[in-house]
Amino acid sequence: MKRLSLTTLATVALSASMVGNTFAQQTTLRVFSGGQNQRPDLMRKLFDEYQKANPNVKIDIETGGATSELQRQYLSTVLNAKDSAIDIYLIDIVNPAQYLGAGWLEPLDAYVGGPNAMKPYLPVYAQANVVNGKVAAMPAFADAMFMYYRKDLLEKYGIKEPKTWDELAAASKKIQDGEKNPNLQGLSIQGAPIEGAVCTFLLPYWSMGKAFNDGAGKMTLDKDAAAKGMDIWLKMVDQGVIKKNVAEVTTPATVNEFKAGQVAFAINWGFAWDRFKDDADSQVKGKVGVMPLPAVAGGKSATCVGGWQWAVSAFSKSKPEAAKLVQYMASPSSSKFLAVEGSLLPTIQSVYTDADVTKAVPWFKDAANVVIAGQARPISARYGEVSDAIRTTASAILARTKTPAEGVAEIDSKLSRVMR
């Protein structure tokens, strides 16, 4: 009897320890998934699917930070403190090099099989996510700056899609003169000192066929060309095509004013398309066209590429599980889901031509070319400084507190120390 009870006890203990084990295998992953523009609602749906397939994983989601800079500041604080609370986080395309340099993210080579894993992705995303031969993060979804325009207004005045900045200014002028609406802007760009102003600085410069940096990250700024680029915007301000207080215009301001029907042409990110098409207060439903950005005469159209990447925190206590989830989120099926449900641009070429995707979002067919032709903003481990120097100076030039030549010289002297 005594022996039996001992055996029973042993069995109970064993099964208890097994139960304990299954509890130990239960992993909770905490994910920082950006702000509302990064569609945490859709990410949650993907996480729910993943939880169903992997019952031992529980995923908590954390959101915050309306802009890329605010998210960067939040993550800097958390990661600088080596906080293990966040396992996975979503970062802007400009950040993998900086985060790897700071030792904040876990290189994924061991989990995904090295840089070869980046083959299916568009080149610009493969480039941004492989830093010093290491896979720093995996692409979540793409974004790029597009030229949105009012189809109805262009038709009304018999204007074709402008191919150069001069044509665009002339087209805007024609529409503004014809409409006689003092609140109608010809073109809306972002001039406030936000991340978008980095693109505002680079777009006309790139469209002259110039590069800001070489493959190794060394700055190759052509100062004259960059000053000329800013002059293109200032000339449009003088012509009344761009509004005078452009240095106050943020990304949401462009979206809201275009939605209100006060803008003929607008440069903005891909996410804006859904806002124009779906938002209840949009006055321009069904009247919006999208096209590649104009260039200078004799130059070539270029756009600013954005987009978001999944990274595993270097301080995570469940790195293998986190890496597995990141692979799932970067897979073609997840990409397709985000494209169909939220018109988030895929980072994988094959998804653009997927039948379900082209049916749900027909404009992706053309968008693919814009994204492929897109350029990445300077890749630097000190991107915080690069971005700050460009955006504050570009904004000051547009506010006319600095001349283009002065401003460009300032960017040059600041960044020649940072990007060498």
Partner 1 sequence: MAFEKIRDPSEKTLAVLLLAPAFLLIALIVVYPIGKLIYNSFFDLRLSGGSGAFAFVGLQNYKDAWVDRDFWNAASNTILITLITVPGALVVGLGLAMLANLPFKHKWPVRLALLLPWALPLSFAGLIFAWFFHTEYGFVNDVMRRLWLQSEPTMWLLRPNWAFTAICATIIWKTSSFMALILLAGLQMIPKSLYEAAEVDGASKWQQFWQITIPMLMPSIVVALIFRTITALQTFDIPYTMTKGGPGNATETLAMLIHKTTIEYLDMGYGSTLAVCMFLLSMVVTSFYLRRIGRTA
Indicate which single residue of 118, 370, 380, 404 sits in contact with partner 1 (rule: CB under 8 A): 380
| C-alpha dihedral sign at 379, 382, 387, 389 | negative
Binding of partner 1 by 289 (CB under 8 A) = no
Are 349 and 139 in contact by the 8 Å Cβ rule? The answer is no
Residue 309: other Cβ atoms inside 10 A: 26
Q: For residue 135, give every residue at least 6 positions away whose Cβ sits within 8 Å of its Cβ, in sequence order, or none.
A: 107, 108, 109, 112, 114, 115, 117, 118, 129
Single-letter residue type at 306: G
Looking at the DSSP assignment, which residues form a beta bridge with residue 348?
121
Tell me whether residue 120 or residue 384 sits nearer to partner 1 (CB atom): 384
Tell me whether residue 273 or residue 383 sits nearer to partner 1 (CB atom): 383
The alpha carbons of the chain give a radius of gyration, in whole angstroms, of 24
- Interface map 71-110 toward partner 1 (x if CB under 8 A): -xx--xx--x-----------------x--xxx-------
Tell me whether residue 130 or residue 361 sits nearer to partner 1 (CB atom): 130
Binding of partner 1 by 239 (CB under 8 A) = no
Q: DSSP character for 401?
A: S
Residue (of 52, 128, 44, 146) closest to 91 by Cα position = 128
Distance of CA 353 to the CA centre of its chain: 21
In the complex, minimum distance from the CB of residue 185 to partner 1, in angstroms, rounded to a whole number: 11
Binding of partner 1 by 384 (CB under 8 A) = yes
In the complex, minimum distance from the CB of residue 239 to partner 1, in angstroms, rounded to a whole number: 17
Binding of partner 1 by 396 (CB under 8 A) = yes
Which residue stretch of 86-94, 105-113, 156-164, 380-388 sits at the interface with partner 1 (rule: CB under 8 A)?
A: 380-388
Q: How many residues bind partner 1 (CB under 8 A)?
A: 32
Binding of partner 1 by 247 (CB under 8 A) = yes
Distance of CA 16 to the CA centre of its chain: 48
In the complex, minimum distance from the CB of residue 388 to partner 1, in angstroms, rounded to a whole number: 6
In the complex, minimum distance from the CB of residue 318 to partner 1, in angstroms, rounded to a whole number: 24
Binding of partner 1 by 418 (CB under 8 A) = yes
Question: HSE-up of 364 (CA within 13 Å, CB side)?
Answer: 29
Phi, psi of 370 (to 5 degrees): -65, -45
Which residues are near partner 1 by CB under 8 A? 69, 72-73, 76-77, 80, 98, 101-103, 192-193, 243-245, 247-248, 380-385, 388, 392-393, 395-396, 399, 401-402, 418
